[in-house]
Amino acid sequence: DAGVTQSPTHLIKTRGQQVTLRCSPKSGHDTVSWYQQALGQGPQFIFQYYEEEERQRGNFPDRFSGHQFPNYSSELNVNALLLGDSALYLCASSLELPGAQYFGPGTRLLVL
Amino acid sequence: AQSVTQLGSHVSVSEGALVLLRCNYSSSVPPYLFWYVQYPNQGLQLLLKYTSAATLVKGINGFEAEFKKSETSFHLTKPSAHMSDAAEYFCAVRSNSGYALNFGKGTSLLVTP
Q: What is the pLDDT along chain A (112 residues), one digit of tens a residue?
A: 679 999 999 999 999 999 999 999 999 899 999 999 999 899 999 999 999 999 999 999 999 999 999 999 999 999 999 999 999 999 999 986 657 899 999 999 999 9
- CA-nearest of B105, B93, B87 to B37 is B87
CB contact under 8 A, B105 and A90: no
Residue type, B105: K
A59/chain B closest Cα distance in angstroms: 11
- Say what the alpha-carbon torsion angle A59, A49, A87, A98 is, to the nearest 10 degrees: 90
B66 phi and psi angles, rounded to 5 deg: -120, 125
User: Tell me, what's the pLDDT at A100?
Assistant: 87
Using DSSP, how many helices (H) and how many strands (E) does chain B show? 0, 11
Say what percent of chain B tops pLDDT 90.
Answer: 75
Residue B54 binned pLDDT confidence (cut-offs 50, 70, 90): confident
Nearest C-alpha in B relative to A5 = B43
* Inter-residue contact A78 to A63 (CB < 8 Å): yes
| DSSP symbol at A52 | T
Please tell me which of the candidates B92, B100, B105 has its beta carbon nearest to residue A56.
B100
**Average model confidence (pLDDT) for chain B?**
92
Please answer whether residues B55 and B64 qualify as being in contact, where contact means their C-beta atoms are separated by less than 8 angstroms.
no
B67 touches chain A (CB under 8 A): no
Query: What pLDDT does B96 receive?
Result: 65
Min CA distance, A95 vs chain B (Å)? 11
Mean pLDDT to the nearest integer, B56-79? 95
For residue B34, give the nearest of A58, A100, A104 by CB distance: A100
Task: Please give the pLDDT value at position A1.
Answer: 65
What residues in B contact A55, CB-CB < 8 Å?
99
In angstroms, the CA B85 to CA B43 distance is: 15
pLDDT band, residue B75 (cuts 50/70/90): very high
Bridge partners of B11, per DSSP, are B109
Verify whether the Cβ–Cβ distance A98 to B105 is below 8 Å. Answer: no
B96/A105 Cβ within 8 A: no
Sequence-distant (6+) residues with CB within 8 A of B26 are: B2, B3, B4, B5, B72
